[in-house]
Structure 1
Amino acid sequence: MNLEQVETFLVITQTKNLSIAAKNLFISQSAVSHRIRNLEEKLGCKLLIRARGEKLVSLTLKGEEFIEIATRWKNLWNETKLWTLQESKMNLKVASIDSLNTCVFSSLYKDLINSNNAISLNVSSHWSKTIYDLIESHDIDIGLTLNSLKYPNAIAKPLFKSRGVVISSKSSKYPEIVHPNDLKTSNEILFSYIPEYEIWHNFWWEYDQNEYSSVDTVSLLFTMFDLEEKWAVVPIWIARVFEKIHPVKISELSVSPPEYSCYQVSNRNLIPSKLKAIKKFSVALEAYMKTDIFLSSIK
């Protein structure tokens, strides 16, 4: 059974006339009869009733039943043909720490999902170590993190650096430039930090380590700054997001904490079927990092 035979049968069911069917199909009447005979032989049953020498036909019971099957078969064939002409969607799995997903790369993800670039994007949030574990096991394709960790098959490519600043309530009394000695750890909301920050933090507040509170997601941090004297040291890109949705004061530190470095992490042994999608993402990421939206968020 082929498409020509099925289409010929369906045209005959509409016209009930072999001559008109032949005309509509731009073939001879004998060709129409030949296609139908071959179709009936393939199916092993009679579909049409035609008196000798007559052009008008009627359907057998099997012919009536076959109309629905033939219609579905033709539709499925057309869908298959369309599918073969379309570029296959490439699945790409990206994982990042919560703060980068929320404050830095959300616009990039939105553009990728909204554009017709043949990528099916899946984004998740994890701790840095988990991201490296997932890269190592090929469970994700790209990681975005603030840590360069040593893993046998993980490659960390530096993307950008940004400074740390102090955020506090708009009504707080902290000046525009503040010294660490002027910050009480009893008022601190410690946010997730890079290892280098822990060393810097311990240097200034070594004897007050049990006094601060802590949160581990940006959404939790957002809820804390109705409290007048509370403060936190965060990357500037978190502070910029706070400015837009929650009035905060941003103070520079007179003794700068370590910079926050962002890395794109991938497996050194890339899966061949993922190469094209990873390349598309990397090109989009590079272009995004030149936009005003991105640049204004990290300065």
Structure 2
Amino acid sequence: MDYDLLETFVLLCENRNLTKTAELLYKTQPTITSRIKTLEEKLGYSLIVRGKGKKNVEITRKGGEFLIIAQKFLNLYEEIEVVQEKLSKTLLVSSISSLGSPIVANVCKKMAEDEEVNISIFTYQTIEAYELIAKKELDVAFVSEARNVNGVMCEPVFMQDYYVIRPCKNPEGIKKICTEDLDVNYEIYQRWSDDFKMWHDYKFASKKPRIEVDSCALLKQFLTNETYWSIIQRSNLLLLNQEMSLQIYNLIDSPPARICYMLTNYYPDRGNIYLLKKMKKLLHQYAFDNDLQLTPN
């Protein structure tokens, strides 16, 4: 039985609307109608009832019975793909820049070591990533903002806290500090997320930092003496702390933890199902190994 026909029928049963189904599958409505008609002709009975000029449909009794079989077929297809894990050889990955290094880079490196797969890694902003995932022009993307976009599955995978850092020749472990003890005139500011900006504006009375950067590579260039400081997420702290001597502080009145989301298409290419599951597993392992907080599934 043709996978596309079954997929279309199951999705139509879930939302009972031809237009919605067409949008989710990025097909025209006539294509959806044609697929259902083809499936009905193969089976020899009607699956749906549609009123003239109406977009909503009703499932026939036999259609409801066949739905159970169709769902089993789709699950079987997925199981076959897991067994045939070597089928897919290419994975297109995107990440916002603040998650790309070291998190996504390390996960992709481990993936390449474990699997015979070609990986292409791109840097896209959040809006672009959602659009490309919906169009199946990317297989997986990592962002820090959850959005409701047709055809895109958005899963929280881990959270990470923030720390204050200063250059220091002789650091003394992790200390505690309050925002009241920080002079915004000497801050090297990086806008990690909208939630972080709201917190920062509130805590520092909307005072604008004199220096703002958009990457850790730039941040490092400005942390030249102990006067300057910055607030940084844990994953980037781990990387910077290997490259320079830093005094690290826990913020007493810290901003909300930053969540990393994994984006995939609701109906990914069947050959990539195994690799996407493997990437999620590796991401969880990386988060666990580096004391990042796993989000509940």
Q: TM-score range by the shorter chain?
A: 0.5 to 0.7
Q: Is 1:144 the equivalent of 2:142?
A: yes
Q: Secondary structure at the match of 1:156?
A: strand
Larger relative contact order (Cα-Cα within 8 Å, sequence gap ≥ 6)? 2
Change (3 A) 1:161 1:280: closer
Q: Match for residue 98 of structure 2? A: 99
Q: Deviations over 1:131-184 (max 9, x none)?
A: 222212211111112111222222211111111111111159999211112212
Code of the aligned partner of 2:103: V
Q: Give the conservation status (yes or no) of the 8 Å contact 1:241–1:297.
A: no
Q: Is 1:213 the equivalent of 2:211?
A: yes
What are structure 2's unaligned runs of at least 5 residues?
1-85
Q: Match for residue 220 of structure 2? A: 222
Q: Give the conservation status (yes or no) of the 8 Å contact 1:92–1:121.
A: yes
Q: Match for residue 185 of structure 2? A: 186
Among 121, 124, 148, the alignment partner of 1:123 is 121
Q: Match for residue 249 of structure 2? A: 251
1:278: how far off?
Answer: 2.0
Q: Match for residue 275 of structure 2? A: 277
- Taking the aligned partners of 2:286 and 2:130, their CA distance within structure 1 comes to 24
Aligned length: 209
1:204: how far off?
Answer: 1.4
Among 229, 232, 235, the alignment partner of 2:230 is 232
Q: Give the conservation status (yes or no) of the 8 Å contact 1:135–1:266.
A: yes
Deviates more, 1:169-178 or 1:238-247: 169-178
Q: Give the conservation status (yes or no) of the 8 Å contact 1:98–1:218.
A: no
- Taking the aligned partners of 1:226 and 1:100, their CA distance within structure 2 comes to 24
Q: List aligned pairs for 1:1-299, cutoff 5 A.
A: 88=87, 90-115=89-114, 117-170=115-168, 176-209=175-208, 211-290=209-288, 292=289, 294-295=290-291
Q: Deviations over 1:218-242 (max 9, x none)?
A: 2111222113311111112211211
Code of the aligned partner of 2:219: L
- Taking the aligned partners of 2:111 and 2:279, their CA distance within structure 1 comes to 8
Q: Match for residue 53 of structure 1? A: none
Identity percentage of aligned residues: 19
Code of the aligned partner of 1:147: E
1:187: how far off?
Answer: 1.0
What are structure 1's unaligned runs of at least 5 residues?
1-86
Q: TM-score, normalization: structure 1?
A: 0.63
Q: TM-score, normalization: structure 2?
A: 0.63
- Taking the aligned partners of 1:296 and 1:271, their CA distance within structure 2 comes to 30
- Taking the aligned partners of 1:190 and 1:103, their CA distance within structure 2 comes to 20
- Taking the aligned partners of 1:88 and 1:266, their CA distance within structure 2 comes to 19
Q: Give the conservation status (yes or no) of the 8 Å contact 1:91–1:277.
A: no
- Taking the aligned partners of 2:291 and 2:239, their CA distance within structure 1 comes to 13
Deviates more, 1:196-205 or 1:270-279: 270-279
Code of the aligned partner of 2:272: K
Please, what is the CA RMSD of the aligned residues? 2.7
Which entry has the higher C-alpha Rg, 1 or 2?
1
